[in-house]
């Protein structure tokens, strides 16, 4: 390096510093001038109204349909403002007109409808694909025909044999994004392909249950055995068949029709264009060698339609920038007419502060607002918030009846004051004591800001056969003490105990619930010690799978809006959660199985009421809350409505503009 260059470097350095400073100031100044001056604000808050924006309405009782009760309940401690809009006299210019931007956390796992089980994937899929029938706007039990020409019913003759045969006439002329047309072959293909793929941990069990009577193909036989494979393949074939211009479903056993329709209205029942799918390497549709078919297409590591768009919905996939955003573009030849916006972009913005700033600047039209930060948007200009939306989710505290004796979370593993025995929770008195020690008021007021419901049993409010009069636990330390004294013949009270409650890092409501429980229980007896531990998801999963958690806090989000979808995971001996608990009550299993094969709503009602009663008496778990959700959008967003079962925003309904 020459001598000149060294002194030149210092000169250059000085110059660069000056240039950067000037550039920054110029850019900043320019942008600042461009950014509009803040207009004076007028805050318009609609007077305190006590009705909700959306309700699940009552429907007439018809054979085969179900009743939904209304959900209007006011929570007296917080004002139930329906809609709050803060507006300015000169409305800000709508940013990015014709593009709807949603900023949220998380991102889709896949675009393959047979694979997807998470809501992020579901949100994209239900915008680019269509199903035979779909929910009628806000209703979860009324349907409109989409790919099907008509919604089957007993009256129009499309439901036969006591609900075992259901016929869907297929609409003609529906164009697909790939340049084709939807035919009955595509419909048959979509369902058969899904059942063939049946990946571990996927949603297809919901199709298998009504159509084949099992939850997994493995229950029918061994797919690598030629005879079994052929037999199972034939069952799949017969379950969905083409008859002229119709598709016929043959159910294996009686199944409540509305529930079946709810399953058919969701993303795993999306209709896929067969030619397009085959182009992406999916099953070609041949049925002569089932052994080979299963070998090649069953439970793959990566699904064929992972990144593909073989749908016919109102939007097409424009680009999926992994980890960043998904952009959808309007499908102009959509059979119901083109959407009102040209593009929909779902951006992944994990950082709350950034998301919020984007929202306030108009660079995002709809955002996900974590409950704890609601306050930060209070009174913000141009923001519309809709509150108290009933969700179909239940969070509960689960007791493990037989913990792994080697679990690191049960202390000494004995009832010696330094731990708990693995079957600690088998004693009903312990469970009741824990239940009475939970302070719902504090929990709901402080952790949920009043926006949650205290429901008695595993069935959420708003679903059919929810029993509003079912007795439930209330906070009562006297009773808690009483039951603790009875527990294990008084040994619990005398010796005390130690156990650990784990929660998944970042889940604040669960942490709060654990702390409230700990505070209350420890206040009863100094020998009661509970340690609360934060762990990462991998550790939590491991502990759960290996049965090491003496208690676990977890929630269930509805797959479809039917009570069966809740009682099974909460109470059935092979249920998603109850199996971990090693809870088993044969009467319960019997009732649950009857419930899902019974088509008479009155009889179903009796069954589920009985189950809710047993839940309260047996207390295998304690329901903590059913959350109420909020929706935040800019006030130039029009057309949004709430359906609790939607996996995300249904962009076809939206437009951008001021009324």
Binders of another protein among residues 482 to 541 (CB under 8 A) are 505-506, 508, 511-512, 515-516, 533-539, 541
The verdict on 454 binding another protein (CB under 8 A) reads: no
CB of 183 to another protein, least distance (A): 31
What track of x and - describes contact with another protein for positions 180 through 219 (by CB under 8 A)?
A: --------------------xx------------------
Q: Which of 70, 302, 337, 603 binds another protein (CB under 8 A)?
A: 302
| CA atoms of 297 and 286, how far apart (whole Å) | 12
Greatest alpha-carbon pair distance for the chain in Å reads 97
For residue 505, the minimal CB distance to another protein (Å) is 6
From the list 156-164, 227-235, 372-380, 486-494, the region that binds another protein by CB under 8 A is 372-380
Binding window for another protein (CB under 8 A); candidates: 65-73, 109-117, 481-489, 604-612? 109-117
Binder among 67, 81, 88, 118 for another protein (CB under 8 A): 118
Q: Burial level of 246, CB count in 10 A (0-12/13-18/19+)?
A: middle
- Closest separation in Å from C-beta 190 to another protein: 22
Which residues, 531 to 570, sit near another protein by CB under 8 A? 533-539, 541-542, 544-546, 554-556, 559, 569
Name residue, tokens 């009732």. 591
Cα–Cα dist 657/370, whole Å = 26
> What sign has the CA pseudo-torsion 416, 419, 425, 431?
positive
Alpha-carbon distance values, 161 to 242, 292, 299, 444 (Å): 18, 34, 33, 47
Lookup: tokens for 310: 């073989």
Place of tokens 């992406």: 280
Smallest separation (angstroms) from another protein to the CB of 174 = 27
Site for another protein in 577-616 (CB under 8 A): 577, 579-580
At 418, list the tokens: 């330094």
- Beta carbon nearer to another protein, 75 or 99: 99
Q: Considering only 153-161, 171-179, 351-359, 646-654, which stretch makes contact with another protein by CB under 8 A?
A: 351-359
Q: Tell me which residues in 144-173 interact with another protein (CB under 8 A).
A: none
Torsion on CA atoms 479, 76, 380, 351, rounded to nearest 10: 20
18 near another protein, rule: CB under 8 A? no
Q: What distance in Å separates the CA atoms of residue 198 and residue 207, rounded to the nearest whole number?
A: 10
* Residue from 377, 415, 591, 622 binding another protein (CB under 8 A): 377
Q: Which tokens sit at 167? A: 């016929």
In the block, residue with structure tokens 């998603």: 576
Q: How far is the CB of 62 from another protein (least distance, A)?
A: 32
**What does the CA dihedral 511, 472, 495, 418 come to, rounded to 10 degrees?**
-30
Residue of 59, 81, 96, 619 that binds another protein (CB under 8 A): 96
Distance in Å, CB of 439 to another protein, minimum: 10
**Are 605 and 578 in contact, with CB atoms under 8 Å apart?**
no
20 binds another protein (CB under 8 A): yes
Nearer Cβ to another protein, position 343 or 485?
A: 343
Q: Decide: 482 and 496 in contact? Cβ < 8 Å.
A: no
Work out which of 220, 380, 428, 524 binds another protein, going by CB under 8 A: 380
- The residue from 155, 234, 292, 351 that contacts another protein (CB under 8 A) is 351
Closest approach of Cβ 221 to another protein, in Å? 16
Which distant-in-sequence residues (6+ apart) come within 8 Å of 40 by Cβ? 88, 89
Interface with another protein includes 6 (CB under 8 A)? yes
| Interface size with another protein, residues (CB under 8 A) | 102
Length of the chain: 659
From CA 313, how far away is CA 336, in angstroms rounded? 9
Task: Return the number of the residue (192 or 439) whose C-beta is nearest another protein.
Answer: 439
Tell me, rounded to whole angstroms, the distance of Cα 64 from its chain centroid: 26
What CA–CA distances, in Å, run from 272 to 177, 237, 361, 623, 648?
A: 11, 17, 39, 39, 20
In terms of CB distance, is 109 or 598 closer to another protein? Answer: 109
Q: Which of 69, 88, 95, 606 binds another protein (CB under 8 A)?
A: 95
CB of residue 635 vs another protein: minimum separation in angstroms? 14
Nearest to 114 by CA among 271, 313, 9: 271
């Amino acid at each position: 390096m020459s001598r000149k260059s060294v002194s030149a470097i210092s000169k250059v350095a000085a110059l660069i510093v000056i240039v950067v400073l000037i550039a920054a100031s110029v850019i900043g100044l320019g942008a600042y001038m461009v950014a509009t001056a803040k207009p004076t604000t007028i805050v318009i808050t609609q007077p305190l109204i006590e009705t909700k924006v959306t309700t699940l309405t009552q429907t007439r009782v018809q054979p085969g349909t179900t009743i939904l009760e209304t959900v209007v309940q006011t929570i007296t401690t917080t004002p139930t403002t329906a809609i709050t809009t803060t507006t300015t006299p000169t409305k800000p210019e709508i940013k990015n007109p014709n593009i709807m931007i949603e900023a949220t956390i998380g991102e889709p796992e896949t675009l393959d409808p047979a694979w997807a089980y998470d809501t992020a994937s579901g949100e994209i899929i239900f915008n680019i694909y269509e199903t035979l029938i779909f929910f009628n706007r806000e209703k979860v039990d009324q349907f409109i025909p989409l790919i099907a020409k008509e919604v089957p019913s007993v009256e129009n003759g499309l439901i036969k044999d006591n609900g075992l045969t259901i016929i869907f006439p297929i609409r003609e002329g529906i164009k697909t994004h790939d340049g084709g047309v939807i035919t009955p072959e595509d419909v048959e293909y979509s369902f058969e392909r899904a059942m063939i793929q049946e990946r571990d941990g996927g949603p297809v069990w919901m199709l298998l249950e009504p159509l084949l009577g099992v939850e997994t193909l493995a229950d029918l036989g061994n797919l690598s055995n030629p005879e079994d494979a052929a037999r199972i393949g034939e069952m799949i074939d017969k379950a969905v068949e083409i008859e002229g211009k119709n598709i016929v479903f043959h159910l294996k056993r009686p199944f409540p029709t509305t529930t079946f329709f709810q399953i058919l209205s969701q993303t795993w029942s999306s209709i896929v264009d067969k030619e397009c799918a085959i182009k992406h390497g999916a099953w070609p549709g041949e049925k002569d060698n089932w052994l080979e078919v299963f070998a090649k297409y069953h439970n793959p590591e990566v699904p064929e339609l992972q990144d593909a768009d073989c749908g016919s919905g109102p939007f097409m996939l424009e680009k999926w920038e992994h980890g960043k955003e998904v952009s959808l573009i309007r499908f102009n030849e959509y059979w119901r007419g083109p959407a009102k916006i040209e593009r929909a972009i779902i951006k992944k913005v994990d950082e709350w502060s950034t998301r919020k700033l984007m929202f306030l600047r108009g660079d995002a039209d709809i955002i996900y607002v974590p409950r704890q930060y609601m306050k930060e948007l209070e009174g913000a200009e141009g923001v519309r918030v809709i509150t108290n939306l009933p969700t179909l989710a239940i969070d509960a505290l689960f007791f493990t009846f037989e913990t792994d004796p080697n679990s690191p979370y049960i202390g000494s593993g004995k009832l010696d004051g330094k731990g708990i025995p693995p079957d600690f929770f088998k004693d009903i008195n312990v469970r009741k004591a824990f239940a009475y020690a939970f302070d719902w008021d504090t929990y709901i007021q402080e952790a949920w800001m009043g926006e949650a419901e205290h429901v008695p049993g595993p069935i959420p409010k708003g679903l059919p056969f929810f029993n509003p009069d079912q007795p439930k636990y209330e906070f009562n330390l006297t009773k808690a003490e009483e039951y603790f004294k009875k527990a294990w013949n008084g040994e619990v009270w005398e010796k005390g105990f130690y156990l650990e409650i784990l929660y998944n890092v970042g889940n604040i409501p669960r942490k709060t619930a654990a702390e409230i429980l700990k505070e209350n229980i420890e206040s009863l007896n100094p020998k009661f010690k509970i340690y609360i531990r934060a762990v990462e998801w991998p550790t939590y999963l491991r502990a759960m799978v290996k049965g090491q958690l003496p208690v676990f806090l977890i929630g269930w989000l509805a797959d479809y809006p039917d009570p069966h979808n809740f009682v099974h995971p909460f109470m059935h001996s092979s249920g998603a959660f109850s199996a971990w608990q090693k809870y088993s009550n044969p009467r319960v299993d019997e009732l649950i199985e009857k419930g899902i094969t019974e088509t008479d709503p009155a009889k179903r009602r009796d069954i589920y009421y009985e189950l809710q009663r047993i839940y309260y008496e047996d207390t295998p778990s304690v329901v903590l809350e059913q959350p109420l959700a909020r929706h935040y959008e800019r006030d130039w967003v029009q057309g949004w409505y709430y359906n609790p079962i939607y996996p995300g925003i249904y962009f076809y309904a939206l437009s951008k503009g001021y009324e």
